Amino acid sequence: MSSVYLDNNATTMVAPEVREAIMPLLGEEYGNPSSMHRLGGKSGLFLSQAREKIAAGLGCDSDEIIFTSCGTEGDNTAIFSALESQPEKKHIITTRIEHPAVLNVAKHYERKGYSVTYLGVDSKGHFNIDEYRAAIRPDTALISVMYANNESGVISPIEEMVDIAKEHDVLFHTDAVQAVGKIPIDLKKLPVDYLVLSGHKIHAPKGVGAMYLRRNTPFRPFMLGGHQEHGRRGGTENIPGIVGLGTAMELAVKHIDDENTRVRAMRDRLEKGLMAAIPDSIINGDTAMRLPNTLSIAFKYIEGEAMLLMLDQFGICASSGSACTSGSLEPSHVLRAMGVPFTYAHGSLRFSLSTYSTDEDIDIVLKELPPIISRLRQMSPFRRGDEGLDWVDDHDH
């Protein structure tokens, strides 16, 4: 059975070109870029070439790029750096819909005595800009807002939010893990201070990421160690991963039009087809300001996990929320923040496509999912309203 992989916001397959670029680094090209011999020098060259490719893809200079191990490390580093470099400021602004890589760092600093403002969203997943503006204080050290949400795909008004932050001279970090490769990003036009990306979301392997650090932005290393990354991130560089990330970024630039035309059209066909075939279904979040590859759709009176298991029997891979929260049966914090009714939130599925998705993938989901929903609804005690089992329309559970 061939696999229909529509879970690309969780992770992506390593692109064949990326695999090919990495192979020599797992073989004869094993030098340490810090070594003073020819083998080390070649690794140093691979490192700087990859850095150039990331910088070209983002529209910045290569010395503004720091390689990391993942998106989580980048987010931690950016927040740590902003706070440690301004110890007199004790206020952070972030949002209720961030990834745990940001939310848990904010909570950590809250426990250490910081005050944190968590901006909410409306039912479409949008922030209230007046509320945002009013939250900025003289002691605000950092504003951290994700570029696009991993579950709903809703894109934040980053340009406007950065402009407001800059009017108040506040540092701005954006977690762009889900945005890079899906929508164009040009750092020449976007004065964020820190931007974070992750390799495994853009067809590079796991275990590598990068962060952009705007020139002259205060920085304190999160990983203390050697002189690597100009003393900004100690530890011998993951050269195979970094080379893979460089190639993946080149491919992302090449595929960005495809993401926004063909991939978007496939996602829209999936959305329309499912909405037409399955009654009592809703889209989570705004459908206009949304990543072209993401569909978060909710079916009333269904358990997301039951759908996932049945889809899996047809080789269809999707997600019932963010990959990181699908281990729990609680509706995700993102769906709760949007106020998705409880009876729907439980039955939410996220399909996330990539440039490797095909029309056939969409056909298979459109054929297999509607009967799965009918079957599950017939079995559902919630639908039948069995005594004591009726679900409550209360998203604060």
Q: Decide whether 242 or 364 has the Cβ nearer to ligand PLP.
A: 242
Which residues are 142's β-sheet partners?
A: 92, 171
Distance between CA 15 and CA 372 in Å, rounded?
Answer: 32
Range in contact with ligand PLP (rule: CB under 6 A) among 67-75, 153-161, 266-274, 278-286: 67-75
Distance between CA 149 and CA 125 in Å, rounded?
Answer: 9
Q: Decide whether 332 or 343 has the Cβ nearer to ligand PLP.
A: 332
Shortest-Cβ-distance residue relative to ligand PLP: 71
| Amino acid, res. 67 | F
- Name the residue among 346, 334, 252 with its Cα closest to residue 56: 252
Q: Decide whether 338 or 372 has the Cβ nearer to ligand PLP.
A: 338
Q: Applying CB under 6 A, does 99 fall inside the site for ligand PLP?
A: yes
Shortest Å distance, C-beta 254 to ligand PLP: 22
Pair of tokens at residue 322: 């963010």
- Window 159-198: residues binding ligand PLP (CB under 6 A): 175, 177-178, 198
Shortest Å distance, C-beta 148 to ligand PLP: 8
Active site residues: 324
* Total site size for ligand PLP, rule CB under 6 A: 16
Q: Decide whether 109 or 301 has the Cβ nearer to ligand PLP.
A: 109
How many helices (H) and strands (E) the chain has is answered by 14, 12
Q: Decide whether 175 or 286 has the Cβ nearer to ligand PLP.
A: 175
* Side-chain half-sphere CA neighbours of 52 within 13 A: 6
Q: At what angle do helices 304-313 and 359-379 cross, to 10 degrees?
A: 130
- The angle formed by the CA atoms of residues 159, 160 and 165, to the nearest 5 degrees, is 95
- Window 324-383: residues binding ligand PLP (CB under 6 A): 324
CB 307 within 8 A of CB 298: no
Which residues touch 374 (CB under 8 Å, ≥6 apart)? none
Question: What element of type H or E holds 372?
Answer: helix 359-379
Tell which one of 93, 101, 245, 376 touches ligand PLP (CB under 6 A). Answer: 101
CB 205 within 8 A of CB 244: yes
CB 23 within 8 A of CB 17: no
Shortest Å distance, C-beta 383 to ligand PLP: 32
Tell which one of 33, 57, 205, 209 touches ligand PLP (CB under 6 A). Answer: 209
For β-strands 209-213 and 65-68, DSSP reports them as: antiparallel
- CB burial of 83-115 (b: ≥16 within 10 Å; e: otherwise) equals beebeebbbbbbbebbbebbbebbeebeeeebe
- Name the residue among 175, 174, 154, 149 with its Cα closest to residue 162: 174
Q: Decide whether 146 or 369 has the Cβ nearer to ligand PLP.
A: 146
Q: Decide whether 99 or 267 has the Cβ nearer to ligand PLP.
A: 99
CB 121 within 8 A of CB 111: no
Shortest Å distance, C-beta 176 to ligand PLP: 8
Q: Which residues bind ligand PLP (CB under 6 A)?
A: 70-72, 75, 99, 101, 146, 150, 175, 177-178, 198, 200, 209, 323-324
